[in-house]
Amino acid sequence: MVHEILIWPDPRLKEKARPVPAVDTAIRALIDDLFETMYAAEGVGLAAPQVGVLSRVLVIDASPRQEGQTPIALVNPVLVASRGEIVWSEGCLSVPGEAEDVKRAEFVTVRALDRDGRPIEISDASGLIAVALQHEIDHLDGTLFVDHLSTLKREVIRRRMKRLKQERAEGKTAPEGDAGARPAL
């Protein structure tokens, strides 16, 4: 099922997600819904809080943009190691049409549970996968990519998002397909 993606500055996006006690049928259904919602919005990643579910669950699929990748579903992910630094132009499905440069770790290692509740480790991820992992884990902690920007840039984007939300409420813009040229995470 495709869910509505919350648009920043929705206060629910600032809440911290709760750990998932067990991977069960409901969590697997949430994972399926997150993938379906992400694909419908043409995104690279999506975290449960972006659809109003405060559970530590995220999905990523960079395969169309980064060769050799497969879809990833993570439950209770933890960033256990990072090194290096890169600047990446990030977009976000909760901040549609916007993209800004954000400093991130160049390489990351993440531990989590997979969709079947088995432990998984993604070691030394780099490129788009590393950025997406950091971006989506940030969502689980109530942080958006705009929180990494200057106050001025963040305020300009906030005003545009408020205008977008108002236009959508009035039926002037479609809720999908306005993510901009950059892949939205």
Residue pLDDT tens, the chain, 185 long: 999 999 999 999 999 999 999 999 999 999 999 999 999 999 999 999 999 999 999 999 998 776 777 899 999 999 999 999 999 999 999 999 999 999 999 999 999 999 999 999 999 999 999 999 999 999 999 999 999 999 999 999 999 999 998 988 888 766 554 444 445 67
Which domains are assigned to the chain?
11-169 (3.90.45.10)
Q: How far is CA 10 from the centre of its chain?
A: 15
SS3 of residue 59 by DSSP: strand
Q: Is 42 annotated as catalytic?
A: no
**Residue 105 contacts by C-beta under 8 Å, 6 or more apart in sequence?**
82, 83, 84, 85, 86, 130, 134
Out of 4, 136, 155, 167, which one is annotated catalytic?
Answer: 136
